[in-house]
A and B are shown apart, each in its own frame.
Chain A
Amino acid sequence: MRTRISRGARRAVAAIAALGLVAAMAACGSDDETPSGSGAVTAEGVDDGAELALWTRAPLELQAKALVDAYNKSHKNQVKLTIVPNDDYVAKVGAAAGSGDLPDLFAADIVYVPNWTKAGLFSDITEHIGKLPYADKLNQGHISAGTRDGAKYVLPFVLDLSVIFYNKDLYREAGLDPEKGPTTLEEFKQQALAVQKLNKPGTYGTYFGGNCGGCNVFTWFPMVWASGEEVMNPEGTKSLLDGPAAQKVYATWRELNAAGAIAPGAKDETGATWVAAFQEGKVGVMPYPATLLATAAKTVDVGLVPIPGVSGGASTFVGGDGIGISKDSKKNAQAWNFLSWLTSEAAQVDVLAAGNSTVSRTDLADNKYSAKDPRVATVNKVAASPQSKTPVALNFQQAFNAPTSPWVSLLRNQVYGDQQKLADDNAAVTGVLGQ
């Protein structure tokens, strides 16, 4: 019996040792891999049948899947897409970055890109971008957000722009011209009030995310920019959200709230159901993500105009995601092949524009798809407007997007609470930006 146990034990030890050896050899094998991008940098990269991992967050699922499907059908390289829930994305990327397990390619909310670039999560692709014949036509907001100390780290992946959506049917009922959306902040307010005056049960003038920092960064910052003012200093370390235009924006929403023209639920709206009421045809006019045009148009006759400033102008928050090659990728040349294709006409027009998404090259803004729908042409045009911006700040998330951010306190005080706290609240935003 004892002999049998010993033999069994020896076999077990031998098996474990063998497995360990195999694992060690496998590990050594992967260590021996050298980055494929060590050769000459080309505009197209390498398409040799490599498997590339790509992570993106759930809000971009539609566009990411379309892009990856189109690339995989036309290339030897195969991209394996992982969609991560929005709220888990920072944690997942952080954990992977710490353990050196980032995928070959990953997208990041463009407002986080400066922070992630500083943390060294992306590889330098300055030389690669320089090889692109249309490098200067790429969306400069995304490029500058991904530039640090002169080196470029990301390309635009999917642009998400804020525009004004309005419900043409409700406009007709309210006696408004369904072909004329608001061109000033005052017109925005008046049109919202006009829809409210219909007194239709369950129908309201407008809506906004009253407890959602990101929603109002996305939709209120352009109102300030279109007025010719700034929301931060160029370094992204000082808040300018107490300027005249910003105050006019807050006052407009406060008046709309006082008039009962904002749909119920706005005060506790965290962003989860921010777009739902308009999509259900219950809201007259509101700032909205342009990427949801196709979805909203299924249920509502959507009119679309750029976000106006106090007395005119047109601006948008050039949001969405930038994409780069991770610091951990050992397939840089193959990953660049995907990125260079991503900026090509085949991807920008035949995939993104065909799917009603905004192109990220100014020279492709007028294309066969935007020609069919003037609303898409409007979005593309405002994306290239000099008043449109991607704000750059290292502590953007903490200052604006986090649920407990000082920006959320500021906007809630200005719409619902004590307006006299503006200077203090603005100083609190500066305090976080400057940390």
Chain B
Amino acid sequence: MKKKFLKVAVATMLIASMFTFAACGGSDNGDGGNGDAETIKIGAFGPLSGEVAAYGTAMTDSAKLAVEEINAAGGIDGKQIELFVYDTKADKAEAVNIYNRLRDQDEVVAIIGGTISGETLAVKELAIADNMPMLTPTATSADVTIGAPSIFRACFLDPYQGSAAAAFSVETLGAETVAVLYNSDDAYSEGIAEAYKAAVEAEGLEVVYYDAYTSEVRDFNTYLTQIQSAAPDIIFLPDYYNRIGLIATQMKDLGMEQIAVGVDGWDSVEIDYAEQVEGFFFVNHFAKDDPDPIVQNFIAAFQDAFDREPNALGALGYDAAYILAEAIKNAGSTDAQAIIDALADIEYTGVTGPIRFDDEGDAANKNIAIIKIVDGKHVLEEKISAK
């Protein structure tokens, strides 16, 4: 009897682990090709599947687009760029595996990534230890670049967008009371909620409701009922688009009429939930209806290549690829320290505005756009330009 039980237990574990590994091993090596020595190898990673798949695909597709453009224009001093793209599924452990693979197997000279803060923080210590030049287009968590000389960031930071959203709530929307509902499992959501709360309270506003849910929650009725009875002027929801879709749907089901204000994680919410988020506002990296030719050229090129509209993460991925290429060109070599030094000195104007890095490696004084969702489209409501 005992033997039989052991056999069954071992077999079960083997089968279970087989499936787990099978599910993890599906990374595809997008532009891999044959690695000849005359190419400059760059890695990129992000969630290409899973809850926030729209981010990773937008970021890496745009990076691919930029690399194709650079290669078509002659590459970097005649050398073509070879881009290695992997899917993290928004999983921290997977991000570490991918980082190791990019470094050891693909032998990349620099990395564009990660896409979301969690996966970027997961590889942060490794990138510091290896002195790997890494430029994250889209990880907004403040921690990403702190004490990390080889890591740079092309987007604005969470406290910055939290206070921009707060200023907009107070000045443009004229709110006097606000409710804040955030995700306590996510450093991104929590960090912005804190920054927003501090900023609106400094303006003398009353935060009438402040609570958090966890990632597994699908039923937001309870929170929304509490918020409804607190009757705030606006509701601030710092989270990613899939969950915002859920919350907005349940707001409408409960008949709530408040306007919600959000953050860059909302980008793409209009794909599945246009009706529910109609008239809501969010802070973003660029506006699709910005008449600036650099913006419109990027949108046209992206639409041409992928037959869909780009989002803000795409714009940042595109900028990041150009910045990295320019840094490698300026460095005149693929030596890690030379690339890092060149990145620190870069001056570049991209789709998301002028970008240069401060001492911490963060993009200083970024443009910030406030988007209103009208008829399922992004409309630029306000633009705060870099000084």
Partners in one complex: no
Residues of chain A having any CB pair with chain B under 8 Å: none
